[in-house]
Amino acid sequence: MCHSDASRPPAPPRFGEVVEQSFLTLTASDGNEFAAYFAAPAESPRCGVVILPDVRGLHPYYVALADRFAEAGLAAVAYDFYARTAGVPEGFMRAEDFVWEPHRDASTQPGIDDDALAAINYLRSRTSPTLPVITLGFCFGGSQTWRQSAGDLPIAGAVGFYGRPSLVGDAANHASKPVIMIIAGEDFGTPLPEQLALAETMRAAGAEVEAYVYDGAPHSFFDRSFADWTDACADVWDHVLAFTDRLSV
């Protein structure tokens, strides 16, 4: 698990009014009903974000992250990818003691992508049918977003924080959509050489890849309580928002 219930994302460099914050249940094309959270800015967004959480699924950190993106002017949906085996959790979020391992192991790439598509469609139904949308994920979710650079999802780009390259698999050889990789230099679960090799593979496939390495940073450093990484967190926000600004309509 990347983040505890006490974790919260750092504030973005720009701040605006958030006019909607709501939990909801979305339905994928195969009928799967799953928990999600929607946050919208006061001004019409020019880009949207679908957030794929860490291995625990949807929990308070990612709800707060959706709010942060809305503060920065983007519409956001964070969703839970375990409903097919674990159902919709009470209160829409996974508890800190949720046993996620069997549900992660039972999850499938088509299921994760089908849910992501439902989240994308919801964002566009609430904003504009042509809204550019990126997927952005952490840990297990970060691996999935990098993989989605190669898929058929109607996304403008993909951002992954401390993902596991092995979970991207052969999709790396077919990556085509722009990618950002946020890499923690001291994340021993995802060694730096593997991360850089993945970046090169995706570039060779034709994707534009921005790989940012934060030397000495631990897994899950993008957290407002990590005082030593305040500057790194600010830098991450700058890169991610420059990416969404570039892809915006």
Q: Domain segments of the chain: what residues?
A: 17-131, 136-249
**Whole-number Cα distances in Å, 210 to 117, 198, 222:** 24, 11, 17
Which of 14-18, 54-58, 186-190, 237-241 has the lowest average pLDDT?
A: 186-190
Mean pLDDT on 81-104: 98
Q: What is the pTM of this model?
A: 0.98
Query: Across residues 217-227, what is the average pLDDT?
Result: 91
Mean per-residue pLDDT of the chain? 97
User: Is pLDDT of 226 > 90?
Assistant: no
**Residue 82: per-residue pLDDT:** 99
pLDDT at 227: 86
Least confident range from 12-16, 32-36, 196-200, 218-222: namely 218-222
| CATH number for the domain whose boundaries are 136-249 | 3.40.50.1820
Note the pLDDT tens digit of each residue in 179-221: 999 999 999 888 999 999 999 999 999 999 999 999 999 999 9
pLDDT at 2 over 90: no
Please answer whether residues 136 and 77 qualify as being in contact, where contact means their C-beta atoms are separated by less than 8 angstroms.
Answer: no
Quick one: pLDDT at residue 249? 80
pLDDT tops 90 at residue 225: no
Q: Please determine, looking at this structure, whether the domain spanning 17-131 carries the CATH number 1.20.1050.10.
A: no
What average pLDDT does this structure show over 45-69?
98
Q: How many CA atoms lie within 13 A of 202 on its CB side?
A: 33
Residue entry with tokens 């006061």: 42
Tell me what pLDDT residue 92 has. Answer: 99
What was the pLDDT predicted at 71?
98
17-131 matches 136-249 in fold? yes
User: Is the per-residue pLDDT at 1 higher than 60?
Assistant: no
Nearest to 48 by CA among 154, 146, 144: 154
